[in-house]
Amino acid sequence: MAGRQARKSIPQRASGPALWASVGARVRDRERKRDAVIMTAARAFRERGYHNTSLDDIASELNVTKPTVYHYVENKEQLLFECFRAGLALIMNGIEAQQESTATGRERLAAVIARYAEAITSDFGWCMVQAENQDLSPTMSRKVKALKSEIDQGLRSLIRAGVADGSIRPCDEKMTAFALAGALNWIAHWYRSDDQLAASEIAQRFIELFELGLQPR
């Protein structure tokens, strides 16, 4: 209207489903960026070692500032722990997936061994086997040991199930679980991404070795 100052248009704020959609998008974007930080760190730790890698190095590889990295983790130690946890999550997911399976204990154990080999040959493999050797704080060291214990107990439960259903001969479940985990963890020391054997092939050879031993066929 004449004589009145035109009112400034105010952008409408999202509400209802649109608001929740925008919040969800922001959460997913943050998770995606945090995953990128963790993956980049895992690769850097594997290639240069934990003590030879700084948060400045990781920020540089991500093409972001160091404060941006601190937005997702508190410090380098927590970043190493997140890399460790990401790798172990692959194994734990495999163990949990077998809990409802009707397959024999040996078949379920073989499936977990395959997932274990996949995790160890991933970018998180180095962190999974070396995290405990990096002068961690007592609090962080306890967290690492607690997660490793979960994997150990998961393996033992599958071995017990196999012995119970007759698919695995009676054995010392503790020693068997230690032998399995020790052999699989050692893959991280010699495996290279350009290796001729894929993770699935390595897993199959490990399964054959543990199932058949060194007996002639």
Structure tokens at 194: 């350009």
**φ, ψ for residue 98, nearest 5 deg:** -90, -10
pLDDT digit string (tens) for 101-153? 999 999 999 999 999 999 999 999 999 998 888 878 899 889 999 999 999 99
pLDDT digit string (tens) for 60-71? 999 999 999 998
Closest CA relative to residue 36, chosen from 65, 8, 58, 16:
58
CA angle 60, 38, 149 (to 5 degrees): 145
DSSP 131: G
- Which domains occur in the chain, in start order? 1-73 (1.10.10.60), 77-217 (1.10.357.10)
